[in-house]
Amino acid sequence: MGVITFNEEHTSEVSSTRIFKASILDSHNLIPKLLPQVIKSMDFIQGNGGVGSIKQINFSQGSNLTTLKYRIDELSEETYTYIYTVIEGDALTDKLEEITHEVKLWQRRMVALSLK
């Protein structure tokens, strides 16, 4: 089995706290409302959203995918870290056993500089 790694970096004027809450902690409520043409629903089928919980994504009709299940491996509101592993569903195909995603947000630090 091989490992493929890639990184993406984005900047935002929105705070890491707010992005983490919306896109990670409340994703099961928010994403189906924002993208109903893609995501029909997101439901916890085991647990309540903490480490070890399993979430199922049900894709909208017409999508190339029907369902996807993933396990939450790490979740930290203090370090804005979220690691989850896709364990079942159309995205795995017959060539992949699992797909692990690591999301890490960092807070930009604003430095005030005073020159005299």
Residue type present at position 52: G
| One-character DSSP codes across 32-92 | HHH-TTTEEEEEEEESSSSTT-EEEEEEPTTSS--EEEEEEEEEETTTTEEEEEEEEEGGG
Please give the model's pTM, rounded to 2 decimal places.
Answer: 0.82
Nearest partner of 46 among 21, 20, 72, judged by Cα = 72
Contact 75, 51 (CB under 8 A): yes
**What average pLDDT does range 1-27 have in this prediction?**
81
Domain ranges of the chain: 16-104
Tell which CATH classification among 3.40.50.720, 3.40.50.300, 3.30.530.20, 3.90.1200.10 matches the domain 16-104: 3.30.530.20
The pLDDT value recorded for residue 13 is: 83
Decide which of 37 and 111 is more confident: 37
Q: In this predicted model, what pLDDT tens digit does every residue of 82-116 receive, in sequence order?
A: 999 999 998 887 778 888 888 888 876 555 554 54
